[in-house]
């Protein structure tokens, strides 16, 4: 049944299937067979379009990084003052379309991969540095020198809330996560305003 021009379609399907499969079996537990089956193609086709399992997983990671970066940029573009820009980042982190369990746990699987995989670590470091730089930039006018530590605190809390959101046992909602984050930010801003 060969229709031409399948390459980009199949690649996308395989990446989306990989996210689901990784959620079910874990990053290292997943097989090309798992992914291909979910995408409705043979394992050989997955190899044909990606060359290797590593390539497919790496493409999946880049896909997620791209999605998150895009969501953040879109929201930052329409945010006004620094406080609104901080909130744009928080909201982007917990936007409903970023927040399926499969997406989160795949994201975090790559996080863990970065502990012992140089290539993954490099990609993740770029993302994290940009996130923290954005936060720092907008926090500086609000809290001055405390901005570095504060930005790291917010970044850590975002990832911690994701981690907990990925655990089915805890059933945490994005809205709750956002509320907790805003309490953190506002509490600190109120405390700084007094000193």
Residue numbers at the binding site for DNA (CB under 7 A): 1-7, 10, 30-33, 41-45, 47-48, 51-54
Q: How far is CA 44 from CA 52, 85, 102, 146, in A?
A: 10, 46, 24, 53
Which CB, 47 or 172, lies closer to DNA? 47
Question: What is the full DSSP assignment across 11-26?
Answer: HHHHHHHHHHHHHHH-
Distance between CA atoms of 21 and 24, rounded to whole angstroms?
5
* Contact letters for a second copy, residues 30-69 (x by CB under 8 A): ----------------------------------------
Q: Does 124 bind a second copy (CB under 8 A)?
A: yes
Rounded CA Rg of the chain: 19
For residue 188, the Cα-to-chain-centroid distance in whole angstroms is 25
Write the Ramachandran bin of 79: left for phi over 0, alpha for psi from -120 to 50, otherwise beta. Answer: beta
Among residues 9, 156, 173, 175, the one that binds a second copy under rule CB under 8 A: 156
Least distance CB 110 / DNA (angstroms): 17
Least distance CB 141 / DNA (angstroms): 49
* Binding positions for a second copy, 83-112, rule CB under 8 A: 105, 108-109, 111-112
User: Of these partners, a second copy, DNA, none, which one is at the site of residue 76 (CB under 5 to 8 Å by kind)?
Assistant: none
| Cβ atoms 195, 145 nearer than 8 A | no
Least distance CB 47 / DNA (angstroms): 4
Q: Does 82 bind a second copy (CB under 8 A)?
A: no
- SS (HEC) of 128-184: HHHHHHHHHHHHHHHHHHHHHHHHHHHHHHHHHHHHHHHCHHHCCCHHHHHHHHHHH
Q: Does 145 bind a second copy (CB under 8 A)?
A: no
> Which residues in this chain contact a second copy in the complex, by CB under 8 A?
23-29, 105, 108-109, 111-116, 121-122, 124-125, 128, 146, 149-150, 152-153, 155-161, 163-164, 166-170, 172, 176-177, 179-181, 183-184, 186-188, 190-192, 194
């Amino acid at each position: 049944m060969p229709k031409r021009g399948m390459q980009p379609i199949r690649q996308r399907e395989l990446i989306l299937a990989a996210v689901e499969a990784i959620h079910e079996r874990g990053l290292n537990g997943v097989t090309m067979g798992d992914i291909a089956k979910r995408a409705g193609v043979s394992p050989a086709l997955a190899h044909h379009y990606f060359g290797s399992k590593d390539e497919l997983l790496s493409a999946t990671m880049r896909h997620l990084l791209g999605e998150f970066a895009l969501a953040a940029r879109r929201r930052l573009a329409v945010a006004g003052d620094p406080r609104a820009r901080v909130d744009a980042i928080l909201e982007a982190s917990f936007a409903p379309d970023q927040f399926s369990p499969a997406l989160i746990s795949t994201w975090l699987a790559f996080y863990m991969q970065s502990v012992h995989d140089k290539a993954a670590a490099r990609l993740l470091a770029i993302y994290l540095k940009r996130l923290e730089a954005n936060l720092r930039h907008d926090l500086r006018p609000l809290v001055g020198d405390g901005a570095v530590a504060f930005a790291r605190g917010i970044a850590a809390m975002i990832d911690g809330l994701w981690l907990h959101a990925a655990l089915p046992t805890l059933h945490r909602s994005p809205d709750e996560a956002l509320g907790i984050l805003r309490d953190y930010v506002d509490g600190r801003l109120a405390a700084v305003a007094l000193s």
